[in-house]
């Protein structure tokens, strides 16, 4: 098998593995979770074609990633004893050693106070029964209506790449389309790009590396497809990749650690419970642990190392259920699915995005926000969006804007509208030079 280049993070983890450090020690040193370390190791083992930490260490030595132990021995005549002598502690270190308990208590009080302050700020406060005029005004200031799409569409795939918002395929009044357009937030304009090879609706997209992946979808004849088509924004071209194991539309889709995860959907006859993981390095689909029950038109987003799969339709009714999927546990063959707090109301065809540990679900009457792991939903009203509009495709940009693209009006007619809501404020700190 031809080796695939390792990323900077993977090289960093391989160096620590070569030092004999455990997953827990690596996680602590890199400030990531143990599960994330496991996923990185699985990717490293696959790329360099090894099956153990020992083999990985040998690979690192042979390829110059780490130095051989023979080259790190002490030079002849080196006084190892003098090198190992402890440096005399400073006054500050002596103070910390003597009063560590007091310092720890003070830090705990500060953390609790800061947490209490956050809990009572407008962004993190739970909704109250009585409408708060201040909050309504605050939220309204964060909404914008932008230049609409040239062609009304719903059920389209949306993606954010290099400061651009991409609207791909979708349902028009005449059926599924292959139209691809890019919105530029700097100029508030739309540009038409190369058409997608297959016209589809009821699709989603993820960005892996520097390409946009769009699997499956519903065709003009009502059937579903198993094609996987990939757009390169830099070149403006499309290519086909490995077909899905199952033709499906209306699935839940998200990216995690460089992989694409697809859950459930509609296979043309019924809702399904299958889940799949796509590896772009080897262009291969792998079966993941099935959903606890079949569903289509659910939504998914990754937050804090877990993938939340929420809402959907089970073939009879819309669902309020919210589940989490642990990719690292799934790779280890452990139970990957876990029940989470339900959505505020049942929702099929909703969309979800996450940023900075915050999860946002675009519902039918507003945005539902979940600050993980504080499991309590907060509702942000649609101050600008007219009543009855729903089924938006959404995407979040690196600068903290949540975009709402297309969708349906109250009469199930595709929309051209484009809105955005600021969910995160960026603060510039001046660089003071003394």
pLDDT tens track for 376-393: 888 888 878 888 889 999
Local structure of 147: helix, strand or coil: coil
Please answer whether residues 41 and 23 qualify as being in contact, where contact means their C-beta atoms are separated by less than 8 angstroms: yes
CA dihedral 10, 11, 13, 18 (to 10 degrees): 140
The per-residue pLDDT for 428 is 40
The DSSP code for 342 is: P
Handedness of CA 220, 222, 227, 229 (dihedral sign): positive
Q: How far apart are the two ends of the chain, measured CA to CA in Å?
A: 55
Domain spans, the chain: 8-72, 144-422
Handedness of CA 341, 383, 356, 319 (dihedral sign): positive
Is a pLDDT exceeding 90 seen at residue 153?
A: yes
For all residues of the chain together, what is the average pLDDT? Answer: 84
Q: What is the pTM of this model?
A: 0.69
What percentage of the chain has pLDDT greater than the value 90? Answer: 54
The residue ranking higher by pLDDT, 110 or 64, is 64
For the segment 171-177, the average pLDDT, to the nearest whole number, is 96
The DSSP code for 246 is: S
Handedness of CA 230, 231, 237, 238 (dihedral sign): positive
CA distances in angstroms from 269 to 171, 199, 253, 380, 385, listed in the order given: 20, 20, 20, 36, 34
Is a pLDDT exceeding 80 seen at residue 324?
A: yes
Is a pLDDT exceeding 70 seen at residue 273?
A: yes
Give the span between the Cα atoms of 11 and 363, in whole angstroms: 41
Q: Of the ranges 26-40, 338-352, 379-393, which one carries the lowest mean pLDDT score?
A: 26-40
Give the span between the Cα atoms of 246 and 432, in whole angstroms: 57
The residue ranking higher by pLDDT, 132 or 327, is 327
- CATH topology assigned to domain 144-422: Neuraminidase (2.120.10)
Residue 98: band (very low, low, confident or very high) from pLDDT cuts 50, 70, 90:
low
CATH for the stretch 8-72: 1.10.10.10
For the segment 389-400, the average pLDDT, to the nearest whole number, is 90
The per-residue pLDDT for 114 is 57
Phi and psi at 417, nearest 5°, equal -70, 150
The per-residue pLDDT for 45 is 81
Taking only the tens place, the pLDDT of each residue in 74-89 is 444 444 444 444 455 5
Please answer whether residues 339 and 293 qualify as being in contact, where contact means their C-beta atoms are separated by less than 8 angstroms: no
Taking only the tens place, the pLDDT of each residue in 201-237 is 999 999 999 999 999 999 999 999 999 999 999 999 9
Residue 166: band (very low, low, confident or very high) from pLDDT cuts 50, 70, 90:
very high
What percentage of the chain has pLDDT greater than the value 70? Answer: 79
Give the span between the Cα atoms of 42 and 36, in whole angstroms: 10
CA 332 to mean position of chain CA atoms: 21
Q: Please name the residues in contact with 264: beta carbons below 8 A apart, sequence gap of 6 or more.
A: 251, 252, 271, 272, 273, 274, 275, 291, 294, 295, 296, 298, 309, 312
Give the span between the Cα atoms of 393 and 414, in whole angstroms: 12
Is a pLDDT exceeding 90 seen at residue 93?
A: no
Is a pLDDT exceeding 80 seen at residue 239?
A: yes
Q: In 242-373, where do the E strands start and end?
A: 252-256, 259-266, 271-279, 284-288, 299-303, 306-310, 322-325, 337-340, 351-355, 358-362, 366-371
Tokens 């959404």 sit on residue: 394
The per-residue pLDDT for 210 is 92
Give the span between the Cα atoms of 142 and 420, in whole angstroms: 8
CB atoms within 10 A of CB 415: 22
Give the span between the Cα atoms of 156 and 405, in whole angstroms: 8
The residue ranking higher by pLDDT, 49 or 308, is 308
**What are 371's two structure tokens?**
């600050």
Residue 22: band (very low, low, confident or very high) from pLDDT cuts 50, 70, 90:
confident
Please answer whether residues 170 and 176 qualify as being in contact, where contact means their C-beta atoms are separated by less than 8 angstroms: yes
């Amino acid at each position: 098998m031809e080796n695939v280049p390792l990323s900077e993070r993977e090289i960093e983890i391989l160096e620590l593995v070569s030092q004999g450090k455990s997953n827990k020690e690596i996680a602590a040193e890199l400030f990531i979770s143990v599960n994330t370390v496991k996923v990185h190791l699985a990717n490293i083992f696959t790329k360099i074609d090894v099956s153990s930490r020992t083999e990985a260490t040998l690979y690192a030595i042979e390829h110059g990633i780490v130095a051989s132990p023979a080259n790190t021995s002490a030079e002849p005549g080196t006084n190892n004893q003098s090198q190992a002598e402890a440096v005399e502690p400073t006054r500050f270190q002596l103070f910390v050693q003597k009063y560590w308990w007091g310092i720890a208590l003070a830090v705990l009080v500060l953390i609790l106070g800061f947490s209490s302050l956050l809990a009572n700020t407008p962004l993190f406060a739970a909704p109250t029964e009585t409408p708060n005029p201040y909050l309504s005004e605050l939220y309204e200031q964060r909404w914008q209506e932008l230049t609409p799409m040239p062609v009304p569409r719903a059920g389209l795939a949306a993606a954010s790449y290099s400061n651009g918002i991409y609207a791909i395929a979708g349902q028009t009044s005449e059926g599924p389309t292959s139209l691809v357009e890019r919105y530029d937030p700097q100029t508030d304009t739309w540009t038409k790009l190369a058409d997608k090879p297959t016209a589809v609706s009821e699709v989603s997209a993820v960005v892996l590396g520097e390409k946009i992946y769009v699997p499956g979808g519903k065709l003009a004849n009502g059937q579903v497809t198993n094609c996987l088509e990939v757009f390169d924004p830099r070149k403006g071209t499309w290519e086909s990749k490995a077909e899905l194991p199952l033709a499906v539309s209306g699935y839940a889709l998200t990216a995690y650690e460089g992989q694409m995860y697809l859950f459930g959907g509609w296979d043309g006859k019924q809702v399904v419970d299958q889940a799949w993981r796509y590896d772009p390095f080897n262009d291969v689909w792998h079966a993941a642990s099935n959903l606890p029950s079949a569903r289509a038109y659910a939504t998914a987003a990754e937050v804090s190392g877990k993938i939340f799969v929420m809402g959907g339709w089970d073939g009879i009714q819309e669902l309020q259920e919210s589940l989490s999927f642990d990719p690292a546990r799934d790779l280890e063959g452990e139970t990957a699915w876990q029940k989470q707090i339900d959505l505020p109301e049942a929702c099929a065809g909703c969309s979800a995005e996450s940023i900075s540990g915050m999860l946002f679900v675009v519902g039918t009457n507003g945005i539902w926000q979940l600050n993980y792991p504080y499991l309590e939903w907060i509702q942000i009203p649609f101050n600008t969006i007219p009543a009855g509009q729903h089924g938006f495709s959404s995407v979040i940009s690196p600068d903290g804007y949540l975009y709402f693209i297309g969708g349906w009006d109250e009469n199930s007619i595709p929309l051209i509208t484009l809105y955005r809501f600021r969910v995160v404020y960026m603060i510039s700190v001046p660089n003071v030079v003394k």
